[in-house]
Structure 1
Amino acid sequence: MAGKVVLYYFNGRGKMESIRWLLTVAGVEFDEVYLTTREQYEKLLSDGDLMFQQVPMVEMDGMKLIQTKAILNYIAEKYNLHGKDLKDRVMINMYSEGVIDLMEMIMMLPFSADKTAQLETIQSKAKGRYLPVFEKALSGPIYLVGGRISCADVQLLECTLMLEELFAGILAEFSNIKSFQGRMTRIPAIGTFLQPGSQRKPRPDEIYANTVKEVFNFKLPLK
């Protein structure tokens, strides 16, 4: 019998946060090992645990999984969060990768030399490129694809909450997304995850950014 799922990452959001969200919605309990020193990272490398010298890394079902999208797809497939057929899955993947593109811009904000310019880019692309797609997709359906919750829905909720932390009124023009957000937050597992004391991580601060820089010697192999 496989042991408990274990996540190896920093004590912060980054690319692991979407994995935390998806495991939570799937009802999977997990432990976490936080990287705080260069030595921990080098130990993972010397043990051969990081195929491409990158984190996140997830121990699950007797495997050591790396590459964020691969991990998310595995969880989604295992827990029926990836659509009913091939056509559903490709639509879910398209929506999911669009959300990831936007979230990656937000993730890089703590490491940006010009945060004001980065914020302007995030807001502009969110409102002009990404949110209109999801607003249209949610004009009738409860969920993005196939009438049932998928990993793309979970990621979209995560992303919209991140956007609202940065730009309080950004969803004012996107009523369908705002309604979707309300429906999603009423799901019991999600409601619990949004409460204080859960394994959801707070907005990244200077301590988080400095830890990442120290562990990677200012390199950011986070793909």
Structure 2
Amino acid sequence: MAGKVMLHYFNGRGKMESIRWLLTVAEVEFDEIYLTTREQYEKLLSDGALMFQQVPMVEIDGMKLVQTKAILNYIAEKYNLHGKDLKDRVMINMYSEGIFDLMEMIMMLPFKADAKLEPIKSKAKDRYLPVFEKALSGPIYLVGGKLSCADVQLLECTLMLEEKFPEILGEFPNVKAFQGRMTQIPAISRFLLPGSKRKPQPDETYVKTIMEVFKINIPLS
């Protein structure tokens, strides 16, 4: 019998946060081992645990999985969060790719000395949110009338956007209503409570740890 799912990453959001979200919605218990030193990272490398010398790394079902999208796809497939057929899955994947493009812009802000918020806000309002506003003009969920990983990722993304731009969903009532519905799902409601395994916004300690572990070379993909 496989043991509890184990996550190897920093004590912060980054690209592991979407994995935490999806495991939570699938109601899969997990533990975490936080990278805090260069030595821990080098041990993972010497053990052959990191295929491309990158984290996140997730131990699940006797495997050590790397590459964020591959991990998310595995979880989504295993827990029926990836659509009913090939056409559903490609739509889910297209939505997810767009969501990740937007979230990555926000994730990288703490690592940029000249970080500017306005370009992110403009792209969110002009390129990304209109897509989801249209997709949610009738359906409860993005694809196939059922909950998928893309829905979970969109919720995570909207919450990240509101942390930076509190009024940004004002022009997107369908997305805002979707957000409200999603937060009523019991597993998500619990995840949003203080004391859950959801991570706060990145702080200086998180950034400093990553830069020290990777010697300023930050392979987060």
Global fold match (TM > 0.5): yes
TM-score tier by shorter-chain length is: over 0.9
Aligned mates of 2:112, 2:73 — CA distance in 1: 29
TM-superposed CA distance for 1:112, in Å, is 0.8
Counterpart selection for 2:177 from 167, 176, 179 = 179
Aligned mates of 2:114, 2:122 — CA distance in 1: 16
User: Partner residue of 1:49?
Assistant: 49
Q: TM-score, normalized by length of structure 2? A: 0.99
Once the two structures are superposed, the pairs formed by residues 27-42 of structure 1 within 5 Å of their partners are 27-42=27-42
2:120 counterpart of 1:122: yes
TM-superposed CA distance for 1:190, in Å, is 0.1
CA offsets, 1:25-83, max 9 Å, x none? 00100000000000100000000000000000000000000000000000000000000
Aligned mates of 2:195, 2:94 — CA distance in 1: 33
TM-superposed CA distance for 1:121, in Å, is 1.6
Aligned mates of 2:109, 2:57 — CA distance in 1: 22
TM-superposed CA distance for 1:113, in Å, is 1.5
2:138 counterpart of 1:150: no
Aligned mates of 2:218, 2:133 — CA distance in 1: 33
CA RMSD of aligned residues (A): 0.4
Aligned mates of 1:213, 1:124 — CA distance in 2: 29
Q: TM-score, normalized by length of structure 1? A: 0.99
User: Partner residue of 1:14?
Assistant: 14
Aligned mates of 2:210, 2:104 — CA distance in 1: 15
TM-superposed CA distance for 1:199, in Å, is 0.2
User: Partner residue of 2:80?
Assistant: 80
Aligned mates of 1:123, 1:39 — CA distance in 2: 38
Aligned mates of 1:9, 1:99 — CA distance in 2: 21
CA offsets, 1:93-148, max 9 Å, x none? 00001000000001000001112x2x112111101100000000000000000000
**Where has structure 1 moved over 4 Å in runs of 4 or more?**
none
Aligned mates of 1:148, 1:114 — CA distance in 2: 41
Identity over the aligned pairs, expressed in percent?
A: 82
Aligned mates of 1:121, 1:114 — CA distance in 2: 12
Aligned mates of 1:144, 1:120 — CA distance in 2: 27
User: Partner residue of 1:201?
Assistant: 199
Once the two structures are superposed, the pairs formed by residues 62-77 of structure 1 within 5 Å of their partners are 62-77=62-77
Structure 1: any 5+ residue segments left out of the alignment? none
TM-superposed CA distance for 1:151, in Å, is 0.2
Q: Secondary structure at the match of 1:7?
A: strand
Structure 2: any 5+ residue segments left out of the alignment? none
Q: Secondary structure at the match of 1:171?
A: helix
